[in-house]
Amino acid sequence: MILLAQYFLRAFFRAKAQEASATLKELRNSLGLEEERPTILFAGKLSERKRTGDLLEAYIQLSPDRKTEPFPYLLFIGEGDQRQALENRAGDTGWDSIKFLGFKNQTELPAYFKLCQVFVLPSVQEPWGLVINEVMNAGRAVIVSDQVGCGPDLVRHGENGFIFQAGNITGLADAIQQVLENQEKCRQLGQQSLKIIEKWGFAEDIQGLKKALLSVSNEKLTISGS
């Protein structure tokens, strides 16, 4: 039943991402985004474990002098106990390019996946990271930390995105720059994501699920034994 649900979830995000293409201009305009500027996206809980602060600091490093607004936009989707701190830090920059969009339900997310050029998941202790599967079905480049479980299986370094060392803010900033250095490369990375996820079948789902369960079990054993 779990695998069947994952199959239909994959089909759902693929179909919704395709539908979203027709309304991207409207969504972009509603957010006040200029079409020629690329978009970096995070979607998930704004918690310490997700390391969203690392993403914000990496984004700030994209500014040549830490004062000039970076060319890409940075969008955060989600709620959590880190939101206020993130908004305060973003406010310190004085930039309008960082936007907090709040909670979005699952039916809304594919449009935002399609809107972005690269999706970033900088988490620590992330057993899998199902959102990466979803974003790849929209044909987008992905960047994950080396503590995101799906990284070794779904993210081919330099082919459809990049894997950086968790907590390495400069490494994350470098990865973002490499993805966005030119539009054609970014498009190719996204197309490769789509090809990879198209070949991701039930057997791979089972392996991924086992890895996630093993990771959680090991973490519990470590905690109980400490």
Judge whether 119 and 132 are in contact, CB under 8 Å: yes
Would you kindly state where each structural domain of the chain is located, as residue ranges?
A: 2-225
What is the per-residue pLDDT across 98-142, written as a single tens digit (0 to 9) for each? 999 999 998 899 999 999 999 999 999 999 999 999 999 999 999
Q: Please state which architecture CATH assigns to domain 2-225.
A: 3-Layer(aba) Sandwich (3.40)
Q: Which residues contact 112 (CB under 8 A, 6 or more apart)?
A: 27, 41, 43, 75, 77, 101, 104
Structure tokens at 85: 């701190």
State the average pLDDT over residues 3-27.
76
Structure tokens at 208: 């991924």
What is the per-residue pLDDT across 51-102, written as a single tens digit (0 to 9) for each? 999 999 999 999 999 999 999 999 999 999 999 999 999 999 999 999 999 9
Structure tokens at 29: 């305009």
State the average pLDDT over residues 15-23.
81
Beta bridge mates, 164: 145
If DSSP codes are grouped into helix, strand and coil, which group holds residue 20? Answer: helix
Of 92 and 220, the one with more pLDDT? 92
Alpha-carbon distance 220 to 161, whole Å?
31
Which pTM does this prediction carry? 0.87
Of 122 and 214, the one with more pLDDT? 122
